[in-house]
């Protein structure tokens, strides 16, 4: 006799647990000065809880070896193994561009203004220079790996559009330049989206918005593999002794 488990029920149970955790975080985040900051910190803590330990999550600026920085990014998913420097100055974090897997803008509502704003943030990160050097291991040397396309997206609680991912949403996304495109997003009470290779979108049901977003994000991160090893010597040449 073959024993079977209802996988759909397991995923929905997982989503319910996630929703409860996210709501709990919103309730107990008391160190944020505004409602927007509370939502932002809740998502940071939520993703830090559920993503594997290899991924760090923070609010930060992204910088490259030339000293150029991005706009401030609400939510950065990054690595510290091969790009170990995260600079903190006056309480603000600066993360090397090589370390970044994904970036998100966090807003209350989904609308044209916020989509375009998130797209501009994405462009400010993707325009940065990224280095890549060989990795020495026990069996020899791995060659420098090519830099990948950083994932970008938008997270909101609700939508200003009656049909969140209908014609207005589609038209805004058609306006975006390649560096501005948003790969994935979540509108918690309405559904989530994933940009496909052909330029169309996979859209979740309202009932499965959070679990769809989390699973699709995790798959995107898996597909990126490991970040390139940054050229630390190039970054450190700003020091007088180097």
Which residues are identified as catalytic? 74, 105, 107
Largest CA distance in the chain: 72
20's CB contacts (< 8 A; 6+ apart) are none
3 state SS of 223: helix
Q: Residue 73 and residue 114: Cα distance in Å, rounded?
A: 13
| The token pair that represents 187 in the structure block | 């509108």
- Name which of 97, 155, 106 is nearest 129 in CA terms: 97
Two tokens, residue 223: 């597909």
Total length of the chain: 242
In 3D space, the residue among 190, 219, 192, 189 whose CA is nearest the CA of residue 204 turns out to be 192
Per-residue burial over 161-189, b = 16 or more CB atoms within 10 Å of its CB, e = otherwise = beebbeebbeebbeebeebbbbbbbbbbe
- C-alpha 131 chain-centroid distance: 20
Give the residue from 181, 223, 215, 212 showing the smallest Cα distance to 198: 181
Choose among 73, 39, 28: nearest CA to 157. Answer: 39
């Amino acid at each position: 006799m073959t024993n079977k488990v209802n996988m759909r029920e397991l995923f929905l149970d997982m989503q319910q647990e996630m929703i409860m955790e996210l709501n709990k975080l919103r309730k107990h985040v008391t160190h944020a000065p505004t409602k927007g900051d509370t939502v932002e910190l809740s998502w940071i803590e939520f993703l830090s809880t559920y993503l594997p330990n290899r991924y760090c999550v923070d609010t930060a600026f992204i910088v490259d070896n030339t000293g150029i920085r991005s706009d401030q990014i609400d939510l950065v998913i990054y690595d510290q193994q091969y790009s170990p420097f995260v600079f903190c100055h006056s309480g603000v974090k600066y993360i090397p561009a090589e370390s970044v897997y994904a970036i998100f803008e966090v807003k209350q509502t989904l609308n044209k203004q916020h989509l375009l704003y998130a797209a501009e943030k994405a462009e400010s990160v993707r325009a940065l220079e990224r280095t890549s050097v060989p990795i020495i291991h026990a069996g020899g040397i791995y060659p420098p790996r090519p830099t990948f396309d950083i994932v970008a997206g938008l997270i909101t609680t609700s939508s200003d559009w009656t049909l969140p991912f209908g014609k207005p949403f589609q038209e805004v996304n058609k306006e975006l330049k390649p560096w501005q495109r948003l790969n994935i997003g979540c509108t918690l009470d309405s559904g989530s989206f994933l940009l496909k290779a052909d330029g169309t979108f996979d859209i979740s049901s309202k009932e499965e918005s959070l679990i769809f977003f989390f699973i699709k994000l995790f798959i995107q991160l898996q597909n990126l593999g490991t970040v390139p090893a940054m050229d630390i010597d190039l970054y450190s040449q700003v020091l007088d002794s180097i």
